[in-house]
Amino acid sequence: MIPLPFSTGLNSLGLPRPPAETRVLVAMSGGVDSSVVAAMLADEGYEVVGVTLQLYDHGAALAKKGACCAGRDIHDARRVAEAMGFPHYVLDYENRFRESVIDEFADAYLAGATPVPCIRCNERVKFRDLLETARDLGADCMATGHYIRRMAGPRGPELHRAADPARDQSYFLFSTTRDQLEYLRFPLGGLASKAETRALAARYGLAVAEKPDSQDICFVPNGSYAAVIEKLRPGAAEPGEIMHLDGRVLGRHDGVIRYTVGQRRGLGIGGGEPLFVVRLDADARRVIVGPREALASRQVAVAEINWLGDGGFEDAPAGGWQVAVKVRSTRPPVPARLHPRGPGRAEVELLAPEEGVAPGQACVFYAPEGSRVLGGGWIVPAR
């Protein structure tokens, strides 16, 4: 973020008042990104209020390093606030987080989907509940450490991918609404690399300057989804059949929750042709496998669409919206056509097949050229 001289009439956050008269709530996870945002804004003279959310069991969190909003991270956020001289608060959002994120995560896995709880956390906890808290505290805007850009457009603020493609978090923020975008700020989105963020942390003397990035979902220790779901839903790991697409029963499994679409390793069905998980039939407790080519999809059903493009979503031109889409967070956007299919629903027509399209994942829409994020939705089983 490059500070704007106030002589332009707007401060560096695009608001029409001097920094000292602008209150900013900064969502602080305790990591280097949000810490740098808070320190940067405090250094520019803004009235910064830091808030960290306690999202899950504090006792369990203390035993796990590198997880968002764990006990250590709350402590680190507080240290940054003390060093930079602004107030810091910890809010207990455990119940909201469990009801809005964790319960749905468990139920989605039980239904054979592959959920992305970080998106729901942004959508339902950080950008809904915490944003309302920011308004209640009289903040003029809320800033986060996400790597994404908010840019002025002819019809209001637009969401754009981060300047650094390696750090871009637009896949996890597709459900940000227009109203939320009016209030949110993302000061790190224009930085060229994470090295710049760490250099700023060192410049401000922050103790978190070399703190490793979090790799896991905060409530899933060591990436063991099945263990978490079994704890949340006792008896969830019911055994069943591993079946080939051609109807042959190839073996047994210890629970559909242990498998994801596209998985090859750990199937336990011996040698022979390479087989992949093609589909999960949770009702029949079956894991359906097949050859790699069976993973390819060209038609993707999408629901709960959040549209950030110009014009009404259902007012698509003949032939649908021309877009680029991401069906997994780790993949680049690919060309597609987006066809509205009623309120909040659409069919995505991929111009080239994509492997491992899985219900429960997000499908995020981008402008066919440039960096603009046009919204997205959730992949659902085809009707």
What's the CATH number where 280 sits? 2.30.30.280
The band of 3, judged by pLDDT with boundaries at 50, 70 and 90, is low
> In the predicted model, is pLDDT for residue 67 greater than 80?
no
- Say if residues 205 and 85 touch (Cβ distance below 8 Å): no
Known catalytic residue at 218: yes
Spatial CB neighbours of 277, under 8 Å, sequence gap ≥ 6: 259, 260, 261, 262, 263, 264, 267, 287, 288, 289
| Least confident segment among 31-45, 192-206, 215-229 | 215-229
Claim to verify: residue 302 and residue 331 sit in the same structural domain = yes
At residue 273 the predicted structure's pLDDT band, cuts being 50, 70 and 90, is confident
Report the C-alpha gap between 234 and 258 in whole angstroms: 14
Whether residues 283 and 303 fall in one domain: no
Q: So what's the pLDDT on residue 1?
A: 55
> Which residues, listed in sequence order, are joined to residue 340 by a DSSP beta bridge?
346
pLDDT at 8: 61
Q: For the chain, percent helix, then strand, then coil, each to nearest 5?
A: 30, 25, 45
pTM of the model: 0.90
How far apart are the C-alpha atoms of 256 and 111, rounded to whole Å? 9
Q: First and final CA of the chain: distance in angstroms?
A: 45
- Is residue 121 annotated as a catalytic residue, yes or no? yes
**Residue 174, domain CATH:** 3.40.50.620
- Lowest-confidence segment of 67-71, 251-255, 273-277 by average pLDDT: 67-71
For the segment 295-318, the average pLDDT, to the nearest whole number, is: 94
User: How far is it, in rounded angstroms, from Cα 271 to Cα 49?
Assistant: 58
In a domain, 231, yes or no: no
282 and 337 in a single domain? The answer is no
Sign of the four-CA dihedral 41, 5, 202, 36: positive
Determine the pLDDT at residue 168.
Answer: 97
Average pLDDT over residues 32-39: 97
- 227 inside domain: no
89 or 218: which carries more pLDDT confidence?
Answer: 89
Q: Which amino acid is at 305?
A: I
Instruction: Express each pLDDT in 134-182 by its tens digit.
Output: 999 999 999 999 999 999 999 999 999 999 999 999 999 999 999 999 9
Query: SS3 for 230?
Result: helix
Same domain, 367 and 266: no
Helix (H, G, I), strand (E, B), or coil: what is residue 131? helix
Q: What is the pLDDT of residue 6?
A: 47
If one counts the domains in the chain, the total is 3
The answer to whether residues 215 and 316 belong to one domain is no
Q: Are residues 21 and 74 in the same domain?
A: yes
Q: What pLDDT band is residue 21 in, cutting at 50, 70 and 90?
A: very high
Please state, in angstroms and rounded to a whole number, the distance separating the CA atoms of residues 255 and 240.
Answer: 7
| Percentage of the chain modeled with pLDDT above 90 | 76
Distance CA 329, CA 373 (A): 14
Instruction: Indicate if 191 and 211 belong to the same structural domain.
Output: yes
Is 325 found in the same domain as 196?
no
CB distance 126 to 27 below 8 Å: yes
pLDDT band at residue 57 under the 50/70/90 scheme: low
Q: Which of 68, 118, 218, 363 is catalytic?
A: 218
- Burial pattern 174-203, b for ≥16 Cβ within 10 A else e, equals bbbeeebbebbbbbbbbbeebeebbebbee
Q: What is the mean pLDDT of the segment spanning 219-233?
A: 81
For the cut 60, the answer to whether the pLDDT of residue 62 exceeds it is: no
Query: Are both 131 and 116 inside the same structural domain?
Result: yes
Q: Does residue 54 lie in a domain region?
A: yes
* Higher per-residue confidence, 288 vs 271: 288
Residue 325 in contact with residue 336, Cβ under 8 Å? yes
Q: Are residues 260 and 186 in the same domain?
A: no
Per the structure, the complete domain to which residue 365 belongs is given by 296-380
Q: Is beta strand 141-143 parallel, antiparallel or unpaired with respect to 184-185?
A: parallel
Give the active site residue among 69, 121, 141, 363: 121
Contact between residue 50 and residue 28 where contact means Cβ atoms under 8 Å apart? yes
> Quick one: average pLDDT of 25-34?
96
Mean pLDDT of the chain: 91
> Based on the domain organization, do 26 and 138 belong to the same domain?
yes
**Does residue 232 lie in a domain region?**
no
